[in-house]
Structure 1
Amino acid sequence: MPTSNAALAAEFDQHRSRLIGIGYRLTGRLADAEDAVQDAWLRLASTDRETIRDLGGWLTTVVSRLCLDRMRSAAVRREQYVGPWLPEPLVGALDQDPGDIVAGQDDLRIAALRVLHELPPDQRLAFVLHDGFDVPFAEIAEVLGCSVAAARQHASRARRVMADAQPPPRVPLPEQQKVLEEFLAAVASKDLAAITRVLHPEVAVYGDSDGKARTARRPVVGVDKVARFILGLMAKYGDGLVENVQLVLVNGDLGLVFRGSESLPEPRVFTMAVRDGRPAAIFDIVNPDKLTRVPW
């Protein structure tokens, strides 16, 4: 007996969050993930359900293929991207349910996704599907159009890059809040020594603008350079840099939303990764194309 549309939609919805999670990790854009999942639904609706033995596996393959096409075309576009590229931030209020996509997902922090998206598309897909979602290499090879051995190699290379990069692991929110408050107090003091003291020795700032708003055009690396960069921002923008901000969750970590002011006109999302009780990576996302879903 053919599956009814309502029954098929209900069955599909059981996989939706997982599929969007896969799509977001692969593309770094929630809209791309949602489009891929919607396309997968349309393909499912026009397919005889009885011919699909494992619906979850079938949908994962379809969404992964759709995302792979987007990833490969995006890799070409990123060659012309102005400055560092960061994923679209998933921003929510502190008391808001983060949803199934973000809740408890350590690999979705911005620090991890930044490294993930420096991988070539085939390596990124193999790593995400196998290490993140336990997809067998035979199915990954089918998506990539390669041998099982090649799919294993893609995942292995990605794993080594991720391990070598050592993105700071997520620390508990109370510790993040303490570090963030100390950082903001040091910035507000406009004192170079105070700012230097609160930063991790290997701190780096990554600004994502694509040339559409003002931030660092290249990564700023090292405690002295970052401290002087921050001091320069305070000299240029004044207290507007630390005032009129809202504490939010950004991909499950604490962050800030700047709505924009007379002295600092561009809205922005700010978050950081903490290592050894200090900011080790600072992310400043100002590309307006990536802030359309932020609850201002």
Structure 2
Amino acid sequence: MTHNADTEALVHEFDRYRPVLFGLAYRMLGSAMDAEDILQEAFLRWQQSPRHTVQSPRAFLMTIVTRLCLDALRAARTRREHYVGPWLPEPLVSTGTPDPTARAEQEETLSFAFLLLLERLTPLERAVFILHEVFGYSYDEIAGLIGSNGPHCRQLGHRARQRLSTERPRFRADPAQAEQAARAFARACAAGDLQGLLAIFAHDIALWTDGGGKARAARNIIYGADRVARFFVGIMRKAGRMMTFERACVNGQPGLLVWIDGRLDRVYAFDFDARGRIQAVYGVLNPDKLCGITRG
């Protein structure tokens, strides 16, 4: 086989596993840009490894990506301690409606609510939990990926489930209700309609805004329907005429892109309660997290 043909075969084999590798890296890091960096490094190591040493390409690549993510997570912990205001994941955006055939549990593990819960775990707990709960690996298989043993991985998984069990949502909002609430939010915001917002907000709603010190945003989480609704009415009074809302699928759920004079200003993701009311709003304004999103 020629060098070019060998390289092409390596690229083809790597691309077979790219979706699952990206899914792992994104859930581990909460950043699409960082996940892509991890995949680039993984491909270089894949390219440099002698073929006779690779018995299972998938296992080999999952091991590399998992360990690279663990290193990246440990480094990120220090940076996030000094992050300005609430930290939110980098949004995964596609225009249009969520895929109705997608597995509900897979979409749930991409949601902002779920990714924020994962922030409570240590890097090893996070890796074990994701690999077991999302990708279906046994604890013995995970042990091989992270360089540990089965009983220790089982203990890490148990500890992770205990930490998350009290706050992990026990229900999933009806997709049609969630879609309707997101559209109603856009209409009420555009109109500066305080009562319209209150009608679709859960009473204990929380608003997270991530500007990262690079965009104007609330430095603390805002709680309560009245306070959150008045916050949005205030925004629209200042910049409402310049804002346009675009429907989008954000991390597998109904969301919105907000444009000002053709520039993406922010992305809104939502969490919904069992009645389809908005339980949380996640506003990503940090321009570093928006640069890869284009208009649909």
Partner of 2:249: 249
Say whether the 8 Å CA contact 1:248–1:257 is kept in structure 2: yes
- One-letter identity of the residue aligned with 2:89: P
Say whether the 8 Å CA contact 2:174–2:276 is kept in structure 1: no
What pairs up with 1:110-125 in 2 under 5 angstroms? 110-125=112-127
List per-residue Cα deviations over 1:28-69 (Å, max 9, x = no partner): 111222222222222122222222222211111111001111
Partner of 1:55: 57
Say whether the 8 Å CA contact 2:63–2:145 is kept in structure 1: yes
SS class of match (2:120) = coil
Which of 119, 134, 137 is residue 135 of structure 1 equivalent to? 137
| Cα pair distance change 1:102/1:46, threshold 3 Å | farther
Q: CA deviation at 1:289?
A: 0.6
The answer as to 2:176 corresponding to 1:177 is no
Q: Distance in 2 between matches of 1:24 and 1:82?
A: 22
Partner of 1:279: 278
Q: CA deviation at 1:171?
A: 3.7
Q: Distance in 2 between matches of 1:39 and 1:195?
A: 45
Q: CA deviation at 1:159?
A: 1.9
Partner of 2:46: 44
Percent identity, please: 37
- Larger CA deviation: 15-24 vs 143-152: 143-152
The count of corresponding residues between Structure 1 and Structure 2 is 291
User: Which sections of structure 2, spanning at least 5 residues, go unmatched?
Assistant: none
- Larger CA deviation: 277-286 vs 249-258: 249-258
Q: Distance in 2 between matches of 1:172 and 1:75?
A: 35
What pairs up with 1:136-215 in 2 under 5 angstroms? 136-167=138-169, 170-215=172-217
SS class of match (1:118) = coil
The answer as to 2:22 corresponding to 1:20 is yes
SS class of match (1:225) = helix
Q: Distance in 2 between matches of 1:209 and 1:137?
A: 38
Partner of 2:293: 294
SS class of match (1:89) = coil
Say whether the 8 Å CA contact 2:98–2:252 is kept in structure 1: no
Q: CA deviation at 1:168?
A: 7.3
Say whether the 8 Å CA contact 1:84–1:207 is kept in structure 2: yes
Say whether the 8 Å CA contact 2:173–2:276 is kept in structure 1: no
Q: CA RMSD in A?
A: 3.0
Partner of 2:70: 68
| Cα pair distance change 1:167/1:206, threshold 3 Å | farther
Say whether the 8 Å CA contact 1:272–1:283 is kept in structure 2: yes
List per-residue Cα deviations over 1:241-294 (Å, max 9, x = no partner): xx41211111121211112249xx871111211211210010100001101111
